[in-house]
Structure 1
């Protein structure tokens, strides 16, 4: 939600900060989104399913550099998430996320990450706070460093939530991002949009994203 783009492992879109929740048993989802920065445009699809106590996902994306129509790259992500304590209403939860992101042709030299999300629920889930601490190993650059994210979700109607967050890494940059998520079909279909900026750059490095999430029980 990065590795190759300025995001950390994602919770419910459009957040970059992750949360302490996973899909219900027997359920799957498909997240798809487009993200645009000053340097490139990305198109992603990320299916995931709950298998046992793990949520497992495998996504692929196309990265188009803004300069040069031929500068295209395929990127891929593998992710596994589990919970130490599920998040419940007016309580807290914690989990673990393991991920690898790599470009086509990297030959096993992608970026590895570990993330520990902790979430807190207030006012009957009307306000959710998320704190992330993690580690990113950039194998091509032969270096590793800490990652972090702090975020909040505010339910403004039963179907609409606003999000606000900040995230970054030791070797990357720090960003602030605001977003909105709206449910079209309860527990089945969400749409979202977000806008972010690199801290300290006053609009010179921006992130725009729109997304769609489909979810439901797996076919039996």
Structure 2
């Protein structure tokens, strides 16, 4: 029904909804951002993605991943070597994501990602699952909401979720994004800039700030290459 309201009212309603949800939620699943969208790669498309993250205490993380659209699902795998306080670890994960269009401009999805840590005992760390929602409130402006949970192996489960808004001025190559999310016991806010010079290349730069709880503020730069199978 909101899509039938005049444009100014739609914009105000979208922003209000985003802020309301952000005050109590946080994070989800996918890319280096904390909040994922309810969208899949196009049919027959795959991607290689990488990003480098540096935290406020000089911790470093490198993400290397790949994914493909397979029928109604997007499947992926990734590895994340990281170094913190003089020690190194490597995490490995698989991912599956499903999404469908509920109505014009409104999509919903589900995602799940089990993870393992090299040289740890036990190696299996747990699984993250999340429900995803994306709404194109007005042309070139999208709202995203996630609600999920970390099912920690031999540990206490944790809730996670968040909300995000992105704007692509004129539908061009640049996109601005902001998100508020919770993950791994911490609450964060992130602002990001995305540049898509061609259909196949994506460059990301973002700053995440810890608001409270566990974790640290960080800078992240990412590069994604999409291609046809």
TM-score class, shorter: 0.7 to 0.9
In 1, the alpha carbon distance for the partners of 2:123 and 2:212 equals 34
2:143 to 129, 140, 163: 129
RMSD of equivalent CA atoms = 2.1
Deviations for 1:102-152, whole angstroms, at most 9, x for unmatched residues? 21133442121110010100322x100000001111114x21122111001
* Partner of residue 8, structure 2: none
* Partner of residue 83, structure 2: 64
In 1, the alpha carbon distance for the partners of 2:194 and 2:113 equals 24
Which moved further from structure 2: 145-154 or 99-108?
99-108
* 1:178 partnered with 2:191: yes
Shift of the alpha carbon at 1:8? 3.3
Does the 8 Å contact 2:101/2:108 carry over to 1? yes
In 2, the alpha carbon distance for the partners of 1:199 and 1:41 equals 20
Q: Matches of residues 105-116 of structure 1 in structure 2 within 5 Å?
A: 105-106=119-120, 107-116=122-131
* 1:44 partnered with 2:60: no
* 1:100 partnered with 2:109: no
Q: Work out the number of aligned pairs and report it.
A: 200
Structure 2 unpaired stretches of 5+? 1-25
* Partner of residue 37, structure 2: 19
Deviations for 1:144-176, whole angstroms, at most 9, x for unmatched residues? 12211100101125000000001104x601000
* 1:215 partnered with 2:211: no
Q: Matches of residues 157-196 of structure 1 in structure 2 within 5 Å?
A: 157=170, 158-169=172-183, 172-185=185-198, 187-196=199-208
Which moved further from structure 2: 192-201 or 150-159?
192-201
SS in 2 for 1:110: strand
Deviations for 1:7-47, whole angstroms, at most 9, x for unmatched residues? 6312xx55320111011111100110001113420001110
SS in 2 for 1:19: coil
Higher Cα radius of gyration: 2
* Partner of residue 73, structure 1: 89
In 2, the alpha carbon distance for the partners of 1:189 and 1:155 equals 16
Q: TM-score of the superposition, structure 2-length normalised?
A: 0.81
2:51 to 9, 26, 33: 33
In 2, the alpha carbon distance for the partners of 1:7 and 1:104 equals 25
In 1, the alpha carbon distance for the partners of 2:200 and 2:127 equals 31
* Partner of residue 11, structure 2: none
Structure 1 unpaired stretches of 5+? 1-5
Does the 8 Å contact 2:188/2:208 carry over to 1? yes
* Partner of residue 98, structure 2: 82
SS in 2 for 1:86: strand
